[in-house]
Amino acid sequence: MTSGPFRGVAFDLDGTLLRSDHSISQEMRSLCATLAGQGLLVTLISSRPPRSVEQIVRDLGLESPWAALNGAILCASGAVIDRSPLPAEAVDHILARHGRDARVSVSLYAGFDWIVRAMDRRVGIEAEIVGFSPTVEAGFAGRPVADKILLITDAGSGDGARIAEELAALGDGVAVARSKENYIEITRGDVDKGRALGFIAGSRGLSARDLVAAGDGENDAPMLARCGLPIAMRHSPPSLKAVAELIVGSNDDDSLPRAVGRVFGAMRPQRR
């Protein structure tokens, strides 16, 4: 395992910092408070919309910059400090191809706004997860400057992999990644969680290699590849585990905060 000293930690949210019911365990809360109290950087880098990430940042009492929309939006002290919108032609292509496909739920994210064409079942599930409801705009008539597009398919249908492969053919103008098997995240070509990690580290005069990072999805691979100690969850896809130096258990068993606590000497190993 890579040795320290490390200067901070970056967490993905769903499937990593958050439990399966989207709550935060007391042990994770304690870890974040302890590390932040020691002056270490504790940041969140998520594919969630900014409004949802900001709620969790406030809940944890964190003061470091953080990233939403897979790194397309970076915020600090309640303000946007970096924004990377999608090329307009890419948005037009994706909406023309999938905007009327009943098998796909399309979401546009523009700054702190979340816009959908309709409140269908898949969008309803996502609204429960992130803690707020989107604005419904049939046909996306307003066509805002979009920082991210999320396509949600039915789990187990196989459509997620097919659509991700199709969109990857759009070229360097867009980055396509999956945060879940049926969640296709589309951002600008140079945007990913690794870029966000480097930006946040640099804001503190650090390198991404000075940080520990933990995640569980394909979209976390760029972040884990850039950090000093990459940690993957047990349920991560093989592609992410291949990047990791440490694999922990479930996001429901507190193995992650215990492992990170040991790295920083913030927690003692539990007695058996």
Domains in the chain: ranges and CATH:
8-83+191-264 (3.40.50.1000), 88-188 (3.30.1240.10)
Cis link prior to 5 (omega < 30° from 0)?
Answer: yes
Say which residue, 170 or 123, is predicted with more confidence.
123
- Residue 252 structure tokens: 């429901």
Q: Roughly what angle, to the nearest 10 degrees, separates helices 50-60 and 26-37?
A: 80
Instruction: For tokens 């705009």, name the residue.
Output: 137
Helix (H, G, I), strand (E, B) or coil at 66: strand
- Tens digit of pLDDT for each residue in 258-271? 999 999 997 544 43
Alpha-carbon gap, residue 122 to 142, rounded angstroms:
22
Model-wide pTM > 0.85: yes
Helix (H, G, I), strand (E, B) or coil at 124: helix
For residues 218, 203, 10, 268, the Cα torsion angle rounded to the nearest 10 degrees is 160
Q: Is the pLDDT of residue 217 over 60?
A: yes
Q: Is the pLDDT of residue 75 over 60?
A: yes
Alpha-carbon gap, residue 135 to 107, rounded angstroms:
10
Q: Find the mean pLDDT for residues 26-49.
A: 97
